[in-house]
Amino acid sequence: MKVELDISDYDKNTGFKSDWHGDFTIDSKINDGVIHIRANKDGLISLAKQMLAMANDTVPIHYHLHYDDSNSLEDGSTEIILEKI
């Protein structure tokens, strides 16, 4: 499978705009200490785009993104924080 993606640019004043793909669905839970992320195809592509954008050299160390059921995840999802280290 070959996928071409446009990745959001980072701006030191505003960060970067989350760029979600298609009709994404992402759900997260912690069960018995195990993080379980479930996503449809568009959700997986969306998460990949966010991670690739965070990997850009212009994104500073400790920059982070929050996702929860009020922001991009399905109702009842456990919060996810992606942080660059």
Q: Which pLDDT score is estimated for 75?
A: 96
- Beta-carbon neighbour count of residue 43 at 10 Å? 22
Total residues found in the chain within this entry:
85
Per-residue CA distances from 67 to 1, 18, 20, 49, 63 (Å): 27, 10, 12, 14, 14
User: Beta strand pairing status for 64-67 and 80-83?
Assistant: antiparallel
Residue 3 or residue 81, greater confidence = 81
pTM for the model stands at 0.87
Name the band, by pLDDT with cuts 50, 70 and 90, for residue 7.
Answer: confident
Find out whether 69 and 77 touch, Cβ atoms under 8 Å.
yes
